[in-house]
Structure 1
C-alpha cells in the first residue's frame, strides 16, 4: 500500500484528495497546507485523511512514499527537489518549474534516484484528446496543416504567474502529445490590460517540421469562456470542445482537394469534398482520476509516465521561449 501526501490543498489539491481516496492500493493520505482554515475544511470533508501544516514534515516522514505538489508554480522546483532527494515519487502540477534548467535538474534527480517524476498535464489523460490522437495516428485527418487552440475566460486571475504560464501549458502539452514533436520556432505577442505588471492576453504561434503550424489564444479578459482545440488536415478536421459534455469530439470529413488544377470557379466547386460529421463515443472517466491511476501504475510497475520529467521539461522549454518572445515584441525564438 502506498502512502501519499498532497502538498497544497487550496484550489486544485482537493481534486487529488478526492480521486486518490477512491483508488485501490492507497494506504494513508496526508494533506498539507499552511492555511489552517483549508486544513479544517479538508478534515471536515474527508474524515480519514491526516493533516499537516508544514511540508517539511511530509519530506521527513519516511512512511510517505509519494507526493503530489499542487502549490503555486514558483514553489514547484524547490518542493519537488526536496521530495525526490528524500526518496519519494513525485507528481507535480503544471508547470514542472518556471526555468528549463530547474526542470533538467529534477529530471536528472529522478533518473539518479530511480523515483518516478510525473507532471500533471491533465489534458494528455483526457479521453477526448486521446481520441483525436487516434484520428491523427490512423491518418484519418490526412496530412496535418495546423492546430488551433483557444482557452479564454473571465476571472480567476492568479497572482503568482501571468495568463501565459497559467493557461498555455495545457495547450502546449496537447500539441506535443498530438504531433509527437517539438516546434522549431516560437513567437508570441500579448497585452497586460487588467494589471500592467503581467500579461493577461496572448497569441502564440509555433512552427513545427513539415510546415505544421500551431496557434494558441489565451485570455483572462474574455467574457466568452472557450476551451477548444481544432486540428485541420488534408482529409478532415477534428474538434475537441471541453465545454460540450454531450459531444466533446467531432470529426468533420470535409475538405478541399488540390490534386488537380482548375480553370474556373465552377470546376473549383467540384474540388470541395463533402462528408459526414462524426461524433464518436467518448469515455467520460474524469481525466484527473486517469492521471492519478497512471501515477500509481508507474510507481508499482516501474514504468515511465507518459508525461515524465522530459515531457515536463519540453513544455517549460517552450514556455520560456514564449516568454522571451513576448518580452521582445513577438520576435521568433
Structure 2
C-alpha cells in the first residue's frame, strides 16, 4: 500500500470499497483532491487491474481488513445489501465512513449504523449526491424565496435502460435520489406514501414504479417515476407553483434549471360550458448556475468533515430518514388495493 505523503499534517488516507460504477467515480474524484491518498478495495482482480490502468500507481487490495487499521476513512460503494455490514465494521474500527445511497436496506440496520457512529464519535455520511448539486440548490432557492408561489406539487422522473440490480428493486436503487431532492426542497419528510410497482423483466424485482408522497406541513404531493426499462434517459424534477413553474433537467448542458412564468387560475362560473380555468403565459428564464461536479462537492465536504470533526450536511440520520421512506414504500406496495371495474356497475 502506498505510504502517506511526507510532511503533510492534513494528509488523509481513504479506502474506496467497491470499484464498480460509483466506486470508480469516487476514486477519480478523491485521487484528485489535495493531500488525499486512495486505496481501492475490490475482490474482483479484473476490476483491480482496471483501477490500476486508470489511475497508475494507485494502491489496491482485495482485503479491507488488511488496510483498515491504516485508513482514516472509507467510502462504501458496494451493492446496497452489503452497506450496513461494511459500514459497521469501519465505524467499529473508529474510522469515518461515507456510504452510497441507500444507507442500508432496512431501518434496523440504518439505526444500528447511526447509533454506533454516535457511540464511537465518528463521521457517518450519507452519499446523497444531489443535495450537493448547485442546480438543486438553485431550485431550493426558487422554492424557499416564494418566487414560484405556493407549491402545488412536485413531479420527478428518473428513467433509463439498464443497470438492473440483483439485491434491490428499482425504487430502492433510483428513488433515494428523488426522495432526498424533494424532501430537501420542502425541508420536510413525507407523511404518507403509496406505490405502484411492477416487474416486467427478470424473476425478482420490480423494474418500473410510481411513488406518491404527501407532505402535510407544506400541503404538497410529490410523484416519483423510476424505471430501469425505458428507451430514453431522463433525469428531471418539475416544481409546479401557483405563480410560476420550474424544471430541473440534469441532462441539459447549459440550461439545467428553467423557470416558466406560466400557470392557471380557477374561474368561478355557473356556466357548465365556460372554461373552468384561465391560462397565464409569460417568459421562460434560465437562471445562471455555476457548474460544479456534485460528487466532487460532496467528497470534498467529506474530507473537510474528517479534518475538522464537524458533522456533514447529510449525516447518517439523514440517510436513515430516507431509508424509512423507502421501507414505507415496501409496505405500501404490499397492501395496495385495486378496484375491479365490474364492481362499479353499468354506466348511467
1:25 is matched with which residue: 29, 35, 56?
35
1:290 corresponds in structure 2 to: 297
> Residue 261 of structure 1: CA displacement?
4.0
Structure 2 unmatched ranges of 5 or more = 1-10, 339-348
- In the superposition, the TM-score normalised over structure 2's length comes to 0.89
> Residue 330 of structure 1: CA displacement?
5.6
Counterpart secondary structure, 2:319: helix
Counterpart secondary structure, 1:246: coil
- In the superposition, the TM-score normalised over structure 1's length comes to 0.93
1:158-200 Cα shifts (integer Å, max 9, x gaps): 1121111111111111111111111111110111110232101
> Residue 329 of structure 1: CA displacement?
2.4
Contact 1:189 1:330 in 2 (8 A): no
Q: Is 2:24 the counterpart of 1:8?
A: no
> Residue 112 of structure 1: CA displacement?
1.5
2:257 is matched with which residue: 249, 258, 261?
249
Contact 1:187 1:330 in 2 (8 A): no
1:30-78 Cα shifts (integer Å, max 9, x gaps): 110001111111112212321010122233x2x2101000011000000
> 2:184 and 2:67 mapped to 1: Cα distance?
33
> Residue 268 of structure 1: CA displacement?
6.8
Q: Is 2:108 the counterpart of 1:98?
A: no
> 1:38 and 1:330 mapped to 2: Cα distance?
45
> 2:295 and 2:285 mapped to 1: Cα distance?
26
Structure number with larger C-alpha Rg: 2
1:94-151 Cα shifts (integer Å, max 9, x gaps): 0000011111111111212221111111111111111100101111111111110011
Structure 1 unmatched ranges of 5 or more = none
Contact 1:8 1:33 in 2 (8 A): yes
Contact 1:74 1:98 in 2 (8 A): yes
List 4+ stretches of structure 1 deviating above 3 A: 260-269
1:233-266 Cα shifts (integer Å, max 9, x gaps): 11111101111112111011212245x7456688
Count residues with an aligned counterpart: 326
Q: Is 2:311 the counterpart of 1:311?
A: no
Counterpart secondary structure, 2:21: coil
What CA RMSD, in Å, does the superposition of the two structures yield over aligned residues?
Answer: 1.8
Q: Is 2:286 the counterpart of 1:276?
A: no
